[in-house]
């Protein structure tokens, strides 16, 4: 559908597609859907045919943000069929359910059906909102476990992108309620690592740092979810492979000097090492808590205080061992004209991710942070469970 702008001279009129006035409709729909979930409102998610007709649809609400009022309204819509709760395979296993119990096939997510989904506190408990109260309930015969299809798995990925727990209330519904935002499966499938076209170079300025005054900050914005990533250009990088550090944001470690991780030490050490070789770039990525967000990172900390390691705690909440992606980092490097680099990292996954994205990584250099009695188990888990290139730690000596 096309239109012309009224009230302007014919020579100045520009023809445009009305449905694309705000840009890519899929990216707009994703951003709006993320906002709706974070605000505790329901969405209508559907799969359509080539003509746009709904083949299958469902009303969904994020388990973490559902209110008592919304839950009561959803119950009315569901009627006798009742509500179902979609959770990830990791969360299902934590609760004692088999993610493949329904048909022997592995699934990324399952549906729980029970008459107990009548209070926001119960829904929140099943989703992991109050992780310290979670326990094994697989022996409870009041729960039925069913497999999920890819549409529901996409809904859980949307919740992750909203930095919410990956759990959602589901009600099959043939048509969308009038006041509810609709998003299609085709639009949800755009939830993939950033491509160059998704990042916009927004602004930049000279920002002297303590001890390293020749620095420039360049801000990039992801058009998919409005996340903002910063490139810190330090000194004057030499020709050839540029020294690069990818650093995921850590408010507790970077800003508050938390002793529970080694992030703050790695950030400051990274700046020092880049300056020592004459210059380089530090990419500060908006991926708090290995991609699960600050709220969930604090929930994971609570679980770690009960004896779980960092990876076990994230899985307990329904997340994978590492939810980060590095598409945005690769895109930032291309924008900066840095496609041949040497990476400062202990994480081999970062090297592989950048190479897969077309960045030539010609070498690596470890970046070791200080170990103390508060972060020793965390650093030990990164070495033993995630394969990071870190020195062996004797926990008995430190603890």
pLDDT digits (tens, 9 = 90+) for 162-208: 999 999 999 999 999 999 999 999 999 888 766 666 889 999 999 99
* Token output for 11: 């020579």
pLDDT tops 70 at residue 251: yes
What does the domain layout of the chain look like in residue ranges?
A: 23-188, 196-287+324-398
At residue 198, the pLDDT reads 80
pLDDT at 132: 57
How sure is the predictor about 101, in pLDDT bands with cuts at 50, 70 and 90?
A: very low
* pLDDT at residue 10 greater than cutoff 60: no
| Segment 35-47, tens digit of pLDDT | 999 999 999 999 9
3-state secondary structure of 202: strand
Helix (H), strand (E) at residue 384 = helix 376-384
The whole-angstrom distance between residue 358's C-alpha and the CA centroid of its chain comes to: 22
Q: How many angstroms separate the CA atoms of 285 and 221, rounded?
A: 11
How much is the pLDDT for 323? 95
Which tokens belong to 111?
């549906």
Q: Give residue 102's pLDDT band: very low, low, confident or very high (50, 70, 90).
A: very low
Query: What mean pLDDT do residues 22-30 have?
Result: 86
- Lookup: tokens for 86: 């979609």
Architecture field, domain 196-287+324-398:
3-Layer(aba) Sandwich (3.40)
Question: Given a cut of 80, is residue 142 above it in pLDDT?
Answer: no
- Res. 309: pLDDT tops 80: yes
Supply the pLDDT for residue 265: 94
Catalytic (active site) residue 190 = no
Q: How far apart are CA 83 and CA 88, in angstroms?
A: 17
Least confident among 56-60, 96-100, 168-172: 96-100
Q: Is 322 a catalytic residue?
A: yes
Name residue 190's beta-bridge partners: none
Query: What integer pLDDT is reported at residue 193 of this predicted model?
Result: 65
The catalytic residue among 89, 163, 245, 324 is 324
**According to the model, what pLDDT value does residue 255 have?**
96
DSSP 109-178: EEEEE-TTTTSHHHHHHHHTSSGGG----TT-TT-EEEE--HHHHHHHHHHHHTTS-SEEEEEE-SS--T
The CATH number of the domain covering residues in 23-188? 3.90.870.10
> What are the tens digits of pLDDT across the range 263-302?
999 999 999 999 999 999 999 999 999 999 999 999 999 9
Instruction: Give the pLDDT mean for 383-397.
Output: 82
The whole-number average pLDDT for the span 321-337 is: 94
- Predicted pLDDT at 364: 85
Q: Is the dihedral of CA 381, 387, 390, 391 positive or negative?
A: positive
- Of residues 190, 322, 334, 349, which has the active-site annotation? 322
- How far from the centroid of its chain's Cα atoms is residue 381's Cα? 21
Confidence category of residue 97, pLDDT binned at 50, 70, 90: confident
Q: Across the chain, what does the average pLDDT equal? A: 87
Percent of the chain scoring above 70 in pLDDT = 88
Confidence at residue 345, expressed as pLDDT on a 0 to 100 scale? 94
Residue 106 pLDDT more than 50? no
pTM of the full structure: 0.88
The confidence score (pLDDT) of residue 229 equals 97
CA distance 145 to 191: 27
7 — pLDDT class (breaks 50, 70, 90): low
């Amino acid at each position: 559908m096309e239109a012309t702008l009224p009230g302007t001279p014919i020579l100045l009129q520009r023809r445009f597609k009305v449905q694309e006035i705000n840009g890519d409709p899929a990216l707009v729909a994703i951003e709006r859907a993320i906002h709706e979930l974070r605000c505790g409102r329901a969405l209508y998610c559907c799969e359509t045919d080539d003509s746009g007709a709904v083949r299958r649809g469902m009303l969904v609400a994020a388990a973490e943000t559902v209110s008592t009022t919304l839950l009561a309204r959803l119950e009315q819509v569901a009627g006798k069929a009742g509500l179902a709760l979609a959770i990830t395979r990791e969360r299902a296993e934590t609760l004692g359910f088999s993610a493949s119990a329904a048909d022997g096939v592995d699934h990324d997510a399952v549906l729980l059906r029970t008459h107990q989904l009548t209070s926001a506190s119960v829904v929140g408990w099943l989703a992991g909102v109050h992780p310290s109260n979670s326990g094994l309930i697989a022996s409870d015969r009041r729960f039925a476990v069913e497999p999920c299809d890819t549409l529901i798995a996409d809904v859980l990925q949307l919740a992750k992108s909203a930095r919410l727990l990956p759990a959602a209330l589901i009600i099959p519904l043939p048509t969308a309620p009038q006041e509810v935002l609709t998003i299609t499966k085709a639009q949800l499938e755009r939830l993939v690592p950033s491509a160059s076209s998704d990042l916009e170079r927004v602004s930049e300025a000279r920002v002297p740092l303590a001890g390293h005054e020749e620095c420039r900050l360049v801000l990039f914005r992801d058009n998919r979810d409005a996340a903002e990533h910063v490139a810190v250009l330090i000194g004057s990088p030499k020709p050839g492979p540029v020294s690069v550090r990818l650093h995921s944001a850590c408010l507790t470690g970077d800003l508050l000097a938390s002793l529970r991780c080694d992030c703050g030490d790695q950030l400051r050490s990274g700046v020092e090492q880049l300056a020592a070789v004459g210059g380089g770039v530090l990419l500060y990525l908006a991926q708090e808590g290995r991609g699960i967000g600050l709220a969930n990172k604090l929930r994971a900390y609570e679980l770690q205080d009960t004896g779980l390691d960092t990876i076990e705690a994230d899985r307990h909440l329904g997340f994978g061992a590492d939810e980060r992606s590095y598409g945005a980092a690769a895109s930032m490097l291309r924008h900066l004209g840095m496609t041949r680099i040497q990476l400062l990292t202990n994480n081999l996954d970062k090297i592989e991710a950048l190479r897969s994205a077309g960045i030539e990584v010609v070498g690596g250099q470890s970046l070791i942070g200080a170990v103390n009695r508060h972060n020793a188990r965390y650093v030990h888990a990164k070495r033993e469970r995630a394969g990071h290139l870190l020195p062996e730690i004797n926990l008995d000596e430190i603890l």
